[in-house]
Amino acid sequence: MKKLATLFAATAVLAAAGMAQARDLGPDEALKLRDAGTIQSFEKLNAAALAKHPGGTINETELEEEYGRYIYQVELRDAQSVQWDLELDAISGQILKDHQDD
């Protein structure tokens, strides 16, 4: 009986952890959020990332929903060819993470 209870508890923990993870948003959903004014325009978010690394070029962007927050992820290469990964709050435009890509 204890094994069954342990198995049930482990399954419940894994299911809850799976639901709390990030969810990638497709282009259509991202555009709807932007058009509704829920998130900032992609131009503003890209400008905030580039302001942190002047002279850089954006390689890739992605919008995710993590724990109820919209996170805009940006990969860019700065003027010295260093690769950076940034995360911005897509609602406020605040930079949450800015680290050099390995």
Give phi and psi for 79, each to the nearest 5: -65, -20
Provide the pLDDT for residue 10: 45
Whole-angstrom distance, CA of residue 19 vs CA of residue 13: 10
For the chain, the three-class secondary structure string (H helix, E strand, C coil) is CHHHHHHHHHHHHHHHHHHHCCEECCHHHHHHHHHCCCCCCHHHHHHHHHHHCCCCEEEEEEEEEECCEEEEEEEEECCCCCEEEEEEECCCCCEEEEEECC
Q: Is the pLDDT of residue 28 over 80?
A: yes
- Residue 22: per-residue pLDDT: 84
Which tens digits make up the pLDDT trace of 52-89?
999 999 999 999 999 999 999 999 999 999 999 999 99
